[in-house]
Amino acid sequence: MKIINLCVISFLPVILSFIFFSCDGSVIKVLNKELSSADNVKIYFYDKATGKMPNTGSVVSINDKEEVRHFLASITEEDFPKRPDCVYNGLVEFFNGSISLMNMEFNMEPNCGFVVFKIRDVMQSKKISEEGTKLLNFYYGKIAN
């Protein structure tokens, strides 16, 4: 009996830590925590005709941490269901300095604004706000002209 009690007492902190860290609320809280050190992003826009990344001229770099935060704030908790009419328009890659932290594919169309990313080995598809789609379209306008 003493051995069982000792085992339970020994593993209790581990069990409580697991429960605490695995239940830290929302996907967005976890996302923001994982990307808290992101200080720049690269946005890769796919070719509209092929849906693939062209060789040149389709990348925008954002080196303003506040702009990075602004984009992250546009990602909502609302799940976005898979729809055949909402294909990916590009990819956002988050960096801390030159170290890649995470990639997200996105759609920037008004009725299809969403991002897809992986948190703790689980794929997430989240709606982005109208501000987020406008921001992505603003940056797309910089390469399209």
The CATH code of the domain that includes 46 is 2.60.40
Nearby residues of 56 by Cβ (< 8 Å), 6 or more positions away? none
Digit-coded pLDDT (tens) for 33-63: 999 999 999 999 998 877 787 777 789 999 9
In this structure, which long-range contacts are made by residues 78-87, counting pairs with CB atoms below 8 Å and at least 24 apart in sequence?
A: 78/126, 78/127, 79/124, 79/125, 79/126, 79/127, 80/114, 80/125, 80/126, 80/127, 81/125, 82/125, 83/112, 85/112, 86/111, 86/112, 86/114, 87/51
Q: Model pTM?
A: 0.79
Residue 49 sits in which domain range?
26-144
Flag whether 128 is in a domain: yes
Structural domain count of the chain: 1
- Separation of alpha carbons 141 and 77, rounded Å: 27
Flag whether 4 is in a domain: no
Flag whether 1 is in a domain: no
Flag whether 137 is in a domain: yes
Flag whether 9 is in a domain: no
Residue 24: predicted pLDDT: 57
Residue 109: predicted pLDDT: 93
How much of the chain exceeds pLDDT 90, in percent?
Answer: 67
Flag whether 19 is in a domain: no
Average pLDDT over residues 52-77: 90
Alpha helix locations (H) across the chain? 2-22, 27-34, 65-73, 130-144
Digit-coded pLDDT (tens) for 88-128: 999 999 999 999 999 999 999 989 999 999 999 999 999 99
Residue 9: predicted pLDDT: 53
Is residue 128 classed as helix, strand or coil in its secondary structure? strand
Flag whether 93 is in a domain: yes
Give the gyration radius of the chain's Cα atoms: 19
